[in-house]
Each structure stands twice: as structure tokens, then as C-alpha cells.
Amino acid sequence: MELRQVGTIAGKEFWDRLRNRWVLAVALVFTVFALVIAYFGGAQQGAVGFRSIGVTIASLVSLVIYLIPLIALVLGFDAIVGERERGSLDLLLSMPITRFELLLGKYLGLAAALAFSTIAGFGLVAVVLSAQLDLPALFHYFGFMASSVLLGMAFLSIAVMLSVFAADRTHASGLAIAAWFFFVLVFDLLLLGALVVTGGSYGGEIFPYLLLLNPADVFRILNIFTLDDVRTLYGLATVFPRTLAEPWLLGLVMLAWIVTPLAVATWRFRK
């Protein structure tokens, strides 16, 4: 593998997103939503203004679970199939570059754009709130930012995999929307439905492990379980064992969600 080739493709993808203002737009969306949640998240309880880092992160987690997967899937669903439809894929492959280098370069460039916009958007909020946060609170907030980047990269990996398998952009966009609905909305409903139907007598032991099959749930647990004042509020203390909630372990699970779809995409793209 030629790293220079990968870097060239990745740089092109990143600067293309930077030139069309995509990165700026996403960063601005993150900043605005995060500031609104931080200062007005408790308005329903009659409290306006920053309350605590735990409540703020818990509210931001709910936003990120819906927003970042959608942005990542929209960003990557046509990474390969789009090139194929435009007729530029054969031209790219005629150059001294392998299919794996092309796929990896595209993913890394898109991932860099998504990570940059996420860090810039939420990082600006950290600067605004820094005067009201102590060192442990800043540590939790930066952990939230890092896990948000991992969540975006996981769903971007899924999007690139779908782009490799799809026959055209229409098919790819449909698969991306279906993936968003399944992981963000349907997956948890299916698990809860199974528990309700069985009265909790079946599946309770494997329920925590099933949550690891959804990167959105891994992200939620990674952020909520480390905050004592909101863990009980979410009910995770009685559902998810502490032995599975170690940050390093959940981080490895997120990395697996990044690597596995990319490996499948590489296998398919080489055929």
C-alpha cells in the first residue's frame, strides 16, 4: 500500500468538503445546537442558563445520536457508487492506485472532514463554557467530543460499505436512510418490545450485550455511564453491568464498528 496515494485521495476529499463550505455549515450547526441545549436545556423546569456538565452532556448525547449518524450517512453514501455513476471510477482505477488505496483514501478524507467539523463545532462551545467548567468537567466534555468523532466515523464506515454494495445512488441513499432508521429508531424499540412481550423473563441477561450491536447505544452508554448524576436517571445502572461499561472496552467496541464495515467494503470492492 502506498501511503502517498492514500494521502492524495484523502486530501482531495477533505479539501473538496472544505471548499464547498460543508465543514463550516456542519460545525455551525453543532455550535448553535450545543449552545442552545447548554443554556436553555432546563427551560421546561423553569431554569435558564448553564446547569451542570452532566445534564448538558446528557442532553447533547440525545442530539448527537440523531444528528451525527445522519450527517455521516449522507456524507458517505455515494463515496464509491457516485464515482461509478459519473464514470470517473474507471478513470481513477486506471491510474497507479489500488482499489484498497482508493477506498481507504476516500474514507479517511471524509472522516477528517467530519471529525474537523465535529471538533470545531463542539470545541467552540467548550471555549464559551470554559469559565464555568472545572477540570473534571472539561475532561468529561472532551471525552464526549472524542466519542462523538468515533460515532461519526462508525456510521461513515457503514455508509461507505453501503456505497460499495449499492447499484446506484438512489439505491445507496435508500440504504443509508434505512440504516439510520434501524440503528437510531428501530433497534432499541425491538429490544424493548422483546423484553415487554416476554415480561423480562427472557433476554435480560444478554440485553447489555445486544446493546453493543448498535454504535449509537455504545455511544450513549459511553457518555452516560461515566456521569454519576445522570446514570441513575437513565436507568442504566440496573440494566448495564459496570464490568461492560469500562471506557476502554466501549472504545474498542466503537473501533470495531469502524473497522468491520470498512473490511467488508474492501472485500466487496476488490471483487
- How many Cβ atoms sit within 10 Å of the Cβ of residue 109? 23
Helix (H, G, I), strand (E, B) or coil at 235: coil
Q: Is 72 helix (H, G, I), strand (E, B) or coil?
A: helix
Read off the pLDDT band of 5 (50, 70, 90). Answer: confident
User: What does the alpha-carbon distance between residue 35 and residue 41 come to, in Å, rounded to a whole number?
Assistant: 9
Average confidence (pLDDT) over 153-177: 94
Kindly report, residue by residue over 101-126, the tens digit of the pLDDT.
999 999 999 999 999 999 999 988 88
pLDDT tens per residue across span 194-213 = 777 776 555 567 778 888 99
DSSP 240: S
pLDDT, mean of residues 154-180: 94
User: Measured between alpha carbons, how far is 122 from 145 in angstroms, rounded to an integer?
Assistant: 7
Hey, what's the cell of 151?
460515532
Please name the residue ranges forming H helices in the chain: 3-19, 22-40, 53-76, 81-86, 88-93, 99-129, 135-165, 169-180, 187-197, 207-211, 215-224, 228-234, 236-239, 247-269
Burial environment of residue 174 by CB neighbours within 10 A (0 to 12, 13 to 18, 19 or more): middle
pLDDT digits (tens, 9 = 90+) for 60-117: 888 899 999 999 999 999 999 988 888 888 888 888 888 899 999 999 999 999 999 9
